[in-house]
């Protein structure tokens, strides 16, 4: 156990606290019982679990308190390809990358993959992560068949989505680790013939075309996403590269790939060094990157075969790519706006492109129906994500964006948030009081707490 400086993937919210590695379930139980015994003592700051640190803000750190590092609790306990559906039983520190590499040779697929595989199972549940298939298959919590939750009394409860314990289950899914520590989970996997995708691509000319094409085409594909230009204004504002795809069958692969159809292709091109100054992404470099990214895509192409990294996680080829923003870090701002509020969505794009704040990595998706998670983020509507380097005036922009999103009946994503205020957050999540009541029953002394939870009054 040691005092460490922790930050999220955005590298902007840095705090110091004790970090204790958890190697076994008994380690976790001991830590929780010790924290419970100290609850109410002067200076007691509770604890929070942490995985690979891929949340962008401050939900997995505990300033002045204890953070439990669960990355060593990382055993895949079973993979049952004969069950219906196929099932994976894993400890919470198993990463999506680790599970994917183990499952694919068996013809199994992780049901929901976000923009990086460097997320633990515990983190995927706590943040209820989503991917390119939300409009068809929902978020990660939809595919969890059971989970073992270590609660504040030091006991381990097995929770399922229905029946006894379902209320606690759906508070834990999307609950950002505040109901207890997920130790183990059973995940319903999917079958696949290959580790590849057939992908269709189109470039759109402006925001109207982007919205129209995605609205018409999304339901025809399982996986869809757009990179949208958030730099160019004027008539080309909102131009995008729209990609959508399906898992490839073996007969759809070119001859050179059919010999190893279930091969996992996850190349690494290196580690980004921590040498970049602040301000590398500016009006000139941002405009150049956006023009390059838009023009390199085909105007129209169908049936291209892509591997998992190309289609799902292109940034995973570089370790620590977040260092490219410099030591000040960046803010990832992700919001959701209902489908009937396209005027508000257009307003947010206008505000970003005219602000002088530059974002090169921008993702636009359409959400389907949400699940029963009390604090789960996805629900029907548009979700847009921008990466904004930390610099003067950014707080004014994102506060103004908050008001547009809130006014449209939208919300922000807790796994990306690092700065929204408690009052705005409470208005965005109408089931917050229900979550607080259930959390109080599970954890009456509030030993599970994070910097984010304190800031938002959760």
At residue 281 the predicted structure's pLDDT band, cuts being 50, 70 and 90, is confident
What is d(CA 445, CA 432) in angstroms, rounded to the nearest whole number?
18
Dihedral Cα 442, 168, 375, 387, nearest 10 deg: 90
- What per-residue confidence (pLDDT) applies to 257? 94
Q: Give me the phi and psi of 79, to 5 degrees please.
A: -130, 110
**Is the confidence at residue 252, as pLDDT, over 90?**
yes
Token pair listed for 177:
């680790």
What is d(CA 22, CA 93) in angstroms, rounded to the nearest whole number?
9
Structural domain boundaries of the chain?
76-192, 196-419
Relative orientation angle of helices 342-353 and 207-217, to the nearest 10 degrees: 140
Q: What is the mean pLDDT of residues 87-112?
A: 97
Whole-model pTM? 0.96
At residue 329 the predicted structure's pLDDT band, cuts being 50, 70 and 90, is confident
**Is the confidence at residue 124, as pLDDT, over 90?**
yes
**The domain 196-419: what is its CATH number?**
3.30.70.2520
Q: Three-class SS of residue 23?
A: coil
At residue 324 the predicted structure's pLDDT band, cuts being 50, 70 and 90, is confident
At residue 262 the predicted structure's pLDDT band, cuts being 50, 70 and 90, is very high
Render pLDDT for 39-55 as a digit per residue (tens, 0 to 9): 888 878 999 999 999 99
End-to-end CA distance of the chain: 27
Q: What percent of the chain has pLDDT over 70?
A: 100
At residue 108 the predicted structure's pLDDT band, cuts being 50, 70 and 90, is very high
- Among all chains, which residue has been given the structure tokens 């289950």? 169
DSSP string, 301-369: EEEEEEEHHHHT-GGGGEETGGGGG-TT-EEEEEEEE-GGGHHHHHHHHHHHHTSS---S--EEEEE--
Average pLDDT, the chain: 94
Of 130, 134, 116, the residue nearest 52 (C-alpha): 116
**The domain 76-192: what is its CATH number?**
3.30.465.10
What is d(CA 357, CA 107) in angstroms, rounded to the nearest whole number?
44
Q: What is the mean pLDDT of residues 240-257?
A: 96
SS3 content of the chain, % helix, strand, coil (to 5): 35, 25, 40
**Is the confidence at residue 432, as pLDDT, over 80?**
yes
- What per-residue confidence (pLDDT) applies to 78? 97
At residue 111 the predicted structure's pLDDT band, cuts being 50, 70 and 90, is very high
Q: What is the mean pLDDT of residues 86-102?
A: 97
Q: Give me the phi and psi of 283, to 5 degrees please.
A: -60, -40
What is d(CA 410, CA 422) in angstroms, rounded to the nearest whole number?
15
At residue 107 the predicted structure's pLDDT band, cuts being 50, 70 and 90, is very high
What is d(CA 180, CA 430) in angstroms, rounded to the nearest whole number?
22
Token pair listed for 73:
């609790």
- What per-residue confidence (pLDDT) applies to 277? 81
What is d(CA 47, CA 448) in angstroms, rounded to the nearest whole number?
5
Lowest mean pLDDT among 68-77, 128-137, 274-283: 274-283
Render pLDDT for 144-182 as a digit per residue (tens, 0 to 9): 999 999 999 999 999 999 989 999 999 999 999 999 999
Render pLDDT for 377-422 as a digit per residue (tens, 0 to 9): 999 999 999 999 999 999 999 999 999 999 999 999 999 999 999 9
**What residues contact residue 292 under an 8 Å CB cut-off, 6+ apart?**
none
- Pairing, β 381-389 against β 330-337: antiparallel
Q: 95-99 long-range CB contacts below 8 Å, 24 or more apart? A: 95/51, 95/52, 95/119, 95/120, 95/121, 96/120, 96/121, 96/124, 97/266, 97/316, 98/74, 99/187
Dihedral Cα 250, 226, 119, 360, nearest 10 deg: 130
Is the backbone of residue 241 left (phi > 0), alpha (psi -120 to 50) or beta? beta
What is d(CA 263, CA 105) in angstroms, rounded to the nearest whole number?
7
- What per-residue confidence (pLDDT) applies to 325? 83
Q: What is the mean pLDDT of residues 265-279?
A: 78
- What per-residue confidence (pLDDT) applies to 427? 98
Lowest mean pLDDT among 4-13, 81-90, 373-382, 384-393: 4-13
- What per-residue confidence (pLDDT) applies to 344? 97
Residue 18's DSSP bridge partners are: 3, 66
Render pLDDT for 286-315 as a digit per residue (tens, 0 to 9): 889 899 999 999 999 999 999 999 898 887
Render pLDDT for 339-352 as a digit per residue (tens, 0 to 9): 999 999 999 999 99
| Higher pLDDT pick, 321 / 50 | 50
At residue 265 the predicted structure's pLDDT band, cuts being 50, 70 and 90, is confident
Q: Three-class SS of residue 263?
A: coil
| Higher pLDDT pick, 201 / 322 | 201
Neighbours of 23 (CB within 10 A): 14
At residue 131 the predicted structure's pLDDT band, cuts being 50, 70 and 90, is very high
**What residues contact residue 161 under an 8 Å CB cut-off, 6+ apart?**
141, 144, 145, 169, 170, 372
């Amino acid at each position: 156990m040691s005092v460490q400086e922790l930050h999220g993937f955005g590298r902007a919210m840095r705090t110091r606290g004790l970090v204790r590695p958890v190697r076994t379930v008994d380690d976790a139980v001991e830590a929780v019982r010790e924290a419970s015994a100290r609850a109410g003592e002067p200076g007691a700051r509770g604890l929070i679990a942490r995985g690979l640190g891929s949340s962008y803000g401050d939900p997995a750190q505990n300033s002045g308190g204890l953070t439990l590092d669960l990355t060593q609790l990382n055993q895949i306990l079973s993979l049952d390809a004969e069950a219906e559906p196929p099932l994976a039983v894993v400890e919470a520190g198993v990463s999506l990358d680790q599970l994917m590499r183990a499952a694919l040779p068996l013809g199994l697929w992780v049901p929901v993959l976000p923009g990086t595989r460097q997320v633990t199972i515990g983190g995927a549940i706590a943040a209820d992560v989503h991917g390119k298939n939300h409009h068809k298959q929902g978020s990660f919590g939809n595919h969890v068949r059971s989970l073992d939750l270590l609660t504040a009394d030091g006991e381990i409860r097995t929770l399922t989505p229905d029946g006894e314990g379902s209320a606690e289950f759906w508070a834990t899914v999307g609950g950002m680790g505040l109901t207890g520590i997920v130790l183990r989970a059973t995940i319903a996997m999917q079958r696949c013939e290959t580790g590849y995708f057939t992908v269709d691509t189109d470039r759109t000319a402006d925001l109207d075309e982007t919205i129209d094409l995605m609205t018409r085409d999304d339901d025809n594909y399982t996986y869809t996403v757009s990179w949208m230009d958030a730099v160019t204004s004027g008539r080309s504002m909102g131009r995008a590269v729209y990609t959508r795809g399906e898992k490839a069958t073996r007969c759809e692969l070119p001859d050179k790939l059919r010999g190893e159809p279930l091969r996992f292709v996850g190349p690494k091109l290196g580690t980004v060094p921590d040498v970049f100054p602040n301000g590398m992404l500016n009006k000139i470099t941002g405009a150049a990157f956006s023009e390059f990214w838009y023009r390199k895509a085909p105007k129209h192409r169908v049936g291209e075969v892509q591997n998992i990294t190309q289609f799902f996680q292109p940034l995973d080829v570089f370790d620590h790519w977040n260092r490219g923003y410099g030591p000040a870090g960046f803010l990832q701002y992700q919001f959701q706006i209902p489908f009937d509020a396209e005027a508000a969505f257009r307003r947010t794009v206008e505000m970003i492109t005219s602000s002088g704040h530059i974002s090169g990595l921008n993702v636009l998706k359409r959400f389907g129906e949400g699940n029963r998670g009390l604090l789960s983020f996805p629900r029907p509507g548009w979700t847009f994500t921008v990466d904004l380097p930390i610099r003067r005036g950014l707080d004014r922009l994102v506060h103004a964006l908050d008001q547009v999103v809130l006014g449209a009946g939208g919300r922000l994503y807790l796994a990306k948030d690092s700065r929204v205020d408690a009052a705005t957050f409470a208005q965005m999540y109408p089931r917050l009081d229900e979550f607080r009541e259930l959390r109080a029953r599970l954890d009456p002394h509030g030993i599970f707490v994070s910097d984010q939870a304190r800031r938002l009054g959760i």
